[in-house]
Amino acid sequence: MKLSAANLTVPGRLTDVSVTLRPGELTAICGPNGAGKTTLLRVLAGLEPAPVKLGETPLAGMDPHRRALQIGYLSQHAEPAWNLSVEALVRLGRLPHRTSRAEDEAAVAAALTALDCAHLAARGIHTLSGGERARVLLARVLAGSPQWILADEPLASLDLAHAAALLRHFRALADQGTGVVLVVHSLAHAMNHADRVIVLDNGHLAADGPPHAALSEEVIEHVWRVSARWTGPEGARALSL
């Protein structure tokens, strides 16, 4: 089911933004600091009142249990209050499901493996590094097997190897039909891995389309106010400032 919003306006944060997101695509949301990226993601997740629909159903009127099964959201500043074990925290992602214990355990194990966290399962979440914690929190989202994954800067705390592995995993999920929407600051990540890029500037929709168009050198200069040049082959492009 498509995730769509028309003429979104959040006073002081978004102005007349319309998007229709399709399952099976990896969409990157980019823009300068304060552009409205997090606000848009929160609105699409149903965390702020706005005219957003999943298929033909308004999120505002959707049963919370059904919405939790459909949409997995990762906040930029998620911070567990209790020092739960990694395994216990990831298992919370299964709460919306009414499946057998065996199915739940299999989903938790798969999520821990996908995020290279299986060896951390018995550790307390507060004992982990920032990058390890970020991977565990995303594993909690993946354990829920949502149809949509909305993640706010999921790569920000990761080292190079784990960021690359996570991008491959997001790509695989999208290829399997999951809708993946990521807020990212690395324009190279968006250019090389996304199917579509949404660019926000001061709360307005500045560009929306395939990466080569939405992140053209002209758009970058207009939105980020810097002169930049793309180099390298398609799929491995780098941005020179």
Q: Is the pLDDT of residue 78 over 80?
A: no
* pLDDT score at 49: 84
Amino acid 64: pLDDT: 87
Alpha carbon distances (Å) from 131 to 23, 41, 63, 155, 218: 28, 22, 34, 9, 34
Calculate mean pLDDT across residues 26-47: 96
Q: Measure CA of the first residue to CA of the last residue in the chain; give whole Å.
A: 39
Q: Extract the tokens encoding 158.
A: 């990761």
Residue 81 has pLDDT above 90, yes or no: no
Beta-carbon contacts of residue 63 (< 8 Å; ≥ 6 apart): none
Q: What's the rounded mean pLDDT across residues 24-43?
A: 96
pTM, entire model: 0.93
Share of the chain above pLDDT 70, in %: 100
DSSP structural state of residue 153: S
Confidence of residue 48 (pLDDT cuts 50, 70, 90): confident
Would you say residue 44 has pLDDT above 90?
A: yes
Evaluate if residue 87 carries a pLDDT over 90. Answer: yes
Confidence of residue 60 (pLDDT cuts 50, 70, 90): confident
The mean per-residue pLDDT over the stretch 90-108 comes to 92
Q: Are strands 148-152 and 14-21 parallel, antiparallel or unpaired?
A: unpaired
The whole-number pLDDT of residue 80 equals 82
Q: Are 198 and 181 in contact (CB under 8 A)?
A: no
Rounded mean pLDDT of the chain? 93
pLDDT score for 238: 94
Read off the pLDDT of residues 146-204 as tens digits, 9 standing for 90 and up: 999 999 999 988 899 999 999 999 999 999 999 999 999 999 999 999 999 999 999 99
What pairing do the DSSP bridges indicate for beta strands 204-209 and 196-201? Answer: antiparallel
* Domains, the chain, with CATH or none: 3-240 (3.40.50.300)
55-63 mean pLDDT? 89
Q: CA-CA distance, 117 to 180, in Å (whole number)?
A: 21
Residue 33 has pLDDT above 80, yes or no: yes
Report yes or no: 143 and 93 within 8 Å, Cβ to Cβ. Answer: yes
Question: What pLDDT is recorded for position 99?
Answer: 85
pLDDT recorded at residue 240: 93
With a pLDDT cut of 90, the percent of the chain lying above it is 83
With a cut of 80, say whether residue 135 has pLDDT above it.
yes
For 64, the enclosing helix (H) or strand (E) is: helix 64-70
